Amino acid sequence: MNQLTEILAPAGSKESLAAAVNAGADAVYVGGNSFGARAYAENFTEEELLSAIDYVHLHGRKIYLTVNTLLKEGEMPLLYDYLAPFYERGLDAVIVQDVGVMDFVRDVFTELPIHVSTQATVTGAWGAEFFKERGASRIIPARELSLEEIRKIKDASGLEIECFVHGALCYGYSGQCLLSSLIGGRSGNRGQCAQPCRLPYSAAGGKYRDIMSLKDLCAIDLIPDLLDAGVDSFKIEGRMKQPDYVYTAVRLYRKYLDLCREAGKENYRVLKSDREALQGIYRRRGYTDGYFKRHNGREMISFQRPEEMTERQEPLPEMNLKEKINGKLILSKGEHAKLYIESGGVSVSVSGGEVQESIRSPLDEGRVRKQMKKTGNTEFAFDCLEILMQDDIFLPMQALNVLRREGILKLTEAKLAPHRREIPDRREAGRAEGGVKDRLLDRKPELSVLASEERQLEMVFEDRRVDTVYIESELALRAMAERRQAGQKCFLAMPYVFRESAVRMYEKLYRWILDVFDGVLARNWETCQWLKEKEYPGEIRGDYNLYAYNRRSQSVLEDAGIARLTAPVELNYRELSELGVRSGSLIVYGRQPVMISAGCIKKSTGACGRKDGETVLTDRKRNEFIVKNHCSYCYNVMYNCRPLLLHGRREEVKRLGPAEVRIDFLNETKEEAERILGLCGSCFLGETAVEVPDIPYTNGHFKRGVK
């Protein structure tokens, strides 16, 4: 059982910070005014955050800063000035999603621990190893993992593991959801998710229900199991919730973590009254113990409407937590007053005014003690104060006040000194340097196609314009890649999520991958690391969800063995130009995945037949979203209601000069696929003007981008 596990609390405001510390949190996580995944939380100004760092350190706690959004190339130069003052003050860690940001922090702020955000979608030991090699000290894995998967990550990596134990759950894998981004322009990867998954949808023509709205997580009954799995940090979600929620949640998780340590697993019980208090403070859509002991399930879904949500605010106790100090005051006639203070092994001494012989009113010890104990709004209070004073002496009360203030100030500085760091002068490190180099500038792009159905594959293999064929993994298992044209490359598109069952499958298929394919299209960190440790000799290309928003991220991925990256789908033309995609792939057609989920729509709304298939979700505006269930890997992929089509942006695409333009087919018929292939071939490989197709389509973020 892990005896060092911390309670980690959210602090979206100064009031919530105080509530967390007073309730017994070991650490808090906060957002500053930039780069955090809760852009609409109150968050902290620079001065407030600097004060917060000192506050938690004086109380022996830790503080972690969320820098867990993806940074655009133009934002990277701002990162140094943003982090430097917090680094100097003693920030205990940063929580990061972007591999470029991680590389920057490791390179510049060398003493700052890096925690990998759940937004990075680490789902197994391979992903943890990928980040361990890049300087991470802690992994916050995907919330979809079981206790056994968490244990294996811990055992294999040796890294600290932080798991959410309470609060809101996303329906999709965090970091792999573009639903809010593509339908409303508010990106979860930029901290602005509008939570459209919480809205009602109709599945396969049924009634409208909240079928993607998960109940909130409450894992207080699982504390012994989480400790056995090696979890180092129990994380409570809620940087946008009220201080009373933070106080109650922290207080009860603190109580039961301590109880479990004292009484042991066999004697662990949660009182009904405590569970009701915990769940009653924020009753939104019901509670679930999450994925720890299940892969998914209908019982995790709320199916409730927002008007049923209730929030009860409880009066908070007075936030008067004080650190105990011991002191000795020496007042001797003709000598300077001396005060010695000790707290937590830190000792200081100060000298004050000269003690005089009393003429009329000698000092009274009781009055001296009362005056010295007036520590006011400092973080300290005297537990024991020894006073050694002679009779018939005098010292003004003001002199005692000055002595006390100077002593506490000196103690404060001494306790904070070990946390202080020197700031490295490395502003230039955030500048646009390195990254994937532009190559082959004067050439037409290659044309590639991602095929999902056999009818598409047959057509693509017959088309000599197609340089590379990416085959979705389930299709590849039943299709013959050898049918391709001479000179055509064939790549296996690996699963979007590479959890243990998938790893076991591909261990058996590895020889087949070597024999049949020229390379693979990787979509997650697990696949990248698995291939590295296999010493895979083929070419590895990265899909768009190996996010490379900035050149530093590009460089990290190139160093990791990714030969060609796919341009991020949330950047606009200007941002793509600044980033540089001449060595990469640009998707010009396709229904883009908007969500990858462990939850199964078919299972939640009916029954899972354990057979690959698809259903249609319809929103309140009658937009239809195809959802494919991939039973081999037990995840769903939800696709945008309209396909991306950039034929009207031909000149901008030409100026970007990507090495490859890519067409992604989903469920198009052979005839539809032929038409799209012909249109894109003429548009992006030649100079022929093309007609606007008579289909609904979107330009995605190519024009608008995300904030």
pLDDT digits (tens, 9 = 90+) for 224-245: 999 999 999 999 999 888 999 9
CA separation (Å) from 452 to 460, 476, 668? 11, 9, 9
Higher model confidence: residue 316 or residue 157?
157
Residue 312: per-residue pLDDT: 57
Q: How does residue 435 score in pLDDT terms, banded at 50, 70 and 90?
A: very low
The DSSP code for 513 is H
Residue 656: per-residue pLDDT: 96
Q: Long-range contacts for 157-161 (Cβ within 8 Å, ≥24 apart)? A: 157/125, 157/128, 157/129, 157/132, 158/132, 159/128, 159/131, 159/132, 160/115, 160/232, 160/233, 161/229, 161/230, 161/231, 161/232, 161/233
Mean of the pLDDT values across residues 299-316? 70
Residue 423: per-residue pLDDT: 84
Mean of the pLDDT values across residues 367-395? 95
Our measurement of the distance from residue 675's CA atom to the centroid of its chain's CA atoms, rounded to an integer in Å, reads: 40
Mean of the pLDDT values across residues 297-303? 92
Q: Cβ distance 585 to 564 under 8 Å?
A: yes
Mean of the pLDDT values across residues 523-542? 98
**pLDDT tens digits for range 445-454:** 999 999 999 9
Higher model confidence: residue 290 or residue 443?
290
**pLDDT tens digits for range 656-704:** 999 999 999 999 999 999 999 999 999 999 866 667 678 899 999 999 8
The arrangement of strands across the sheet holding 539-542 comes to 564-565, 539-542, 519-522, 489-493, 468-472, 446-451, 660-664, 585-590, 644-645
The length of the chain is 707
- What residues pair up with 341 in beta bridges, in sequence order? 327, 348
- What residues pair up with 339 in beta bridges, in sequence order? 329, 350
| CB-based burial, 182-191: b 16+ in 10 Å, e otherwise | bbeebbbbbb
Q: Which residues contact 601 (CB under 8 A, 6 or more apart)?
A: 203, 211, 212, 615, 617, 627, 629, 636
- Mind giving me the DSSP string for 41-107? S----HHHHHHHHHHHHHTT-EEEEEE-SPPPGGGGGGHHHHHHHHHHHT--EEEE--HHHHHHHHH
E strand or H helix that includes residue 401: helix 397-416
Residue 687: per-residue pLDDT: 67
The answer, yes or no, to whether residue 59 has pLDDT greater than 90, is yes
- Which pTM does this prediction carry? 0.94
Give me 152's structure tokens: 């294996």
Mean of the pLDDT values across residues 372-390? 95
Half-sphere exposure of 182 (CA within 13 A, CB side): 25
Mean of the pLDDT values across residues 578-604? 96
The DSSP code for 37 is S
Residue 432: per-residue pLDDT: 47
**pLDDT tens digits for range 616-640:** 999 999 999 999 999 999 999 999 9
The answer, yes or no, to whether residue 440 has pLDDT greater than 50, is no
